Structure 1
Amino acid sequence: MSLNSRALNSGVLPRVLITGLQGFTGRYMAAELEQNGYEVWGIGSSNPDEPRTLQADLTDTASLIAAIQKVQPQYVVHLAGIAFVGHGQPKAFYDINLVGTRNLLEALAPVSDQLRCVLLASSANVYGNLQGGLLNETNPTNPANDYAVSKLAMEYMAKIWAPHIPVVIARPFNYTGVGQSDSFLIPKIVSHFVHKRDTIELGNMDVWREFNDVRDVVHAYRKLIEAAPVEQTINVCSSNLVSLRDALSLASEMTGHTLNVTVNPAFVRPNEVLKLGGETTLLKTFVPDWKPRALRETLAWMIDAESKHLCQL
């Protein structure tokens, strides 16, 4: 019997706490869980308007303890953090991604007996840019910026708590979707095509990367907390590599617009590998129905949403 069926039969929904509920991934995570029989609670640093959302700050352990004592979760999906690699204050990566996660785990310790799974969202950035091809979880880590270092440090720190808290670490590769900031690559491309800009500045056009769909990522996260492969680190990836040049061609085909591309040297990483993605074997062990969308479907969704938004302006 599925988790959803058990919950409906018992009349008691399993309770999950999402950190970063108000962020890009958090909103999709909440929808995925609610549609599959969970009672969703969230915490955020701003004053929340949504029901079952509490104000708590990852840098303030006391506020986290108070929120967790109120929610009494069986599951936690930890999404809160600073995700943009170009963020201007490197110290914030460590304050939030590392120390903030430690504060969360400390706050969860008093309710550890009732916890079934705590998923921590790390990043495939921990592998760095020196290894090519499809990487699996045994590949060496080689973080190349403060964001990636903070995420890898978070992974090591979490192992200290693993004997007491059922932690699973997810390493998502690139993903995107409606609502993601256009400081990220695919939303930037979509915005430029929909708004019919003349020129776009990008980096190396001939690199191949994954551009996965946020709806698939949150589906994988739900399946992972249900499977609860405690103390494992799992790539959330598709192995579907697309070149930046092909992504631009696809956007041009779908919008009927063409633009000029200027390569900005500031966006080009030295010694960048040509092809880089994730290997899905371990993920499929716990998410056997894993069938990620192709970029064309994700782009169609994003272009449609951006076009509708433009018409409303």
Structure 2
Amino acid sequence: MSAASTALSTTQPARVLITGLQGFTGRHMATELEQNGYEVWGIGSATPGEPRTLEADLIDTASLLAAVQTIQPQYVIHLAGIAFVGHGQPKAFYDINLVGTRNLLEALASVADKLKCVLLASSANVYGNLQSGLLSELNPTNPANDYAVSKLAMEYMARIWIPRIPVVIARPFNYTGVGQSDSFLIPKIISHFVHKRDTIELGNMDVWREFNDVRDVVHAYRKLIEAAPVGQTVNVCSGNLVSLRDALVLASELTGHQLKACVNPVFVRANEVLQLGGDPALLETFVADWHPRPLRETLAWMIAAETNVNKA
């Protein structure tokens, strides 16, 4: 019987702790889990409107330990961290993404006998900018910025906790969706089209990337904690590459608006790889129903949400 079946067939649903529950991915992750019979808990800045969310900080080991011992999770999905590569304080990447994760694992060690799987969200950024094509987990890592270095360091650090803690590492490639900050590329594009801007400033537009849907990503995360391939590192990717120019065309078709896209040299990265995506072969062994949505569907969802916000 699978972990999902167990969660649904007992009077007490399986309990999942999500760090970063209040963030972009965390909210979608909670929805995915709740729709599949799990009891979701979170840690972070607790607010009155947030049920089952305990006040805890990744840098404060005492608050983490208290929260973990109160929640007694069977599964953990660790999403909390600084995800924007352009964040202005490099030290924060290491404080949160590396040291904060270690603090979490130390706290989880106190309930290790209950844990079935702990998924740590790393990043495909660990592969760097010097490799092209569809990358598998066997490709060498070559992080090119502090964010990527902090994530790779987190991966190495986490391995020293195995087998005491059943850790699985996920390396998501680019993904987007409703609720993502417009400091990221696709939400920025959607905002410009919905608000009918005349121009948009971007970096190199002759690049091909994955732009996966956050709903598919959280589905993959759920399937991974159920499969619990402890010690594995798994790319969460589709292999579906779309050029930035094609993304602009899709947004224009869906909104009926046209704008002028200009290259701002500030946004152009040196030695940028033209085509970069992931090989989903390993992921598909754990997620048998892996059928990621096409970008058009994701953009239509985001455009509808942005339009409704403007009408409100």
Mean alpha-carbon deviation: is it higher for 6-15 or for 275-284? 6-15
Could you tell me which amino acid in structure 2 is paired with residue 165 of structure 1?
I
| 1:37 match | 37
| 2:303 match | 303
Could you tell me which amino acid in structure 2 is paired with residue 168 of structure 1?
V
| 1:51 match | 51
User: Displacement, 1:183?
Assistant: 0.2
| 2:168 match | 168
8 Å contact kept, 1:201–1:261: yes
In the TM superposition, 1:21-170 aligns within 5 A as 21-45=21-45, 47=47, 49-170=49-170
Q: SS at 2:160's partner residue?
A: helix
User: Displacement, 1:195?
Assistant: 0.1
Equivalents in 1 of 2:282, 2:296: separation in Å? 26
Q: SS at 2:178's partner residue?
A: coil
Q: Deviations over 1:254-307 (max 9, x none)?
A: 111111111011111111111000001000010011000000000000001101
| 2:217 match | 217
Could you tell me which amino acid in structure 2 is paired with residue 117 of structure 1?
C
Equivalents in 1 of 2:17, 2:8: separation in Å? 19
| 1:181 match | 181
8 Å contact kept, 1:48–1:55: no
Equivalents in 2 of 1:135, 1:74: separation in Å? 32
| 1:268 match | 268
Structure 1 unaligned spans of 5+: none
- Normalised TM-score (structure 1): 0.98
User: Displacement, 1:48?
Assistant: 5.5
Could you tell me which amino acid in structure 1 is paired with residue 165 of structure 2?
I
Q: Deviations over 1:10-42 (max 9, x none)?
A: 211011100000000000000100111111100
Could you tell me which amino acid in structure 2 is paired with residue 305 of structure 1?
A
Could you tell me which amino acid in structure 2 is paired with residue 228 of structure 1?
A
Equivalents in 1 of 2:190, 2:88: separation in Å? 24
RMSD: 1.0
Structure 2 unaligned spans of 5+: none
User: Displacement, 1:47?
Assistant: 4.1
Equivalents in 2 of 1:15, 1:171: separation in Å? 23
| 2:285 match | 285
Q: Deviations over 1:163-220 (max 9, x none)?
A: 2100000000000000000000000000000000011000001100000000000000
**Alpha-carbon distance change, 5 to 234 in structure 1, aligned in 2, over 3 angstroms:** closer
8 Å contact kept, 2:18–2:76: yes
8 Å contact kept, 1:201–1:263: yes
Provide the identity percentage.
81
Aligned length in residues: 312
1:17 paired with 2:17, answer yes
**Alpha-carbon distance change, 48 to 134 in structure 1, aligned in 2, over 3 angstroms:** farther
Q: Deviations over 1:78-137 (max 9, x none)?
A: 000000001111100000000000000000001111100000000000001110000000
Mean alpha-carbon deviation: is it higher for 122-131 or for 2-11? 2-11
8 Å contact kept, 1:162–1:231: yes
Equivalents in 1 of 2:48, 2:39: separation in Å? 17
Equivalents in 2 of 1:8, 1:157: separation in Å? 34
Q: SS at 1:240's partner residue?
A: coil
Equivalents in 2 of 1:9, 1:170: separation in Å? 27
8 Å contact kept, 1:48–1:54: no
Equivalents in 2 of 1:5, 1:140: separation in Å? 37
**Alpha-carbon distance change, 81 to 13 in structure 1, aligned in 2, over 3 angstroms:** same
8 Å contact kept, 2:4–2:226: no
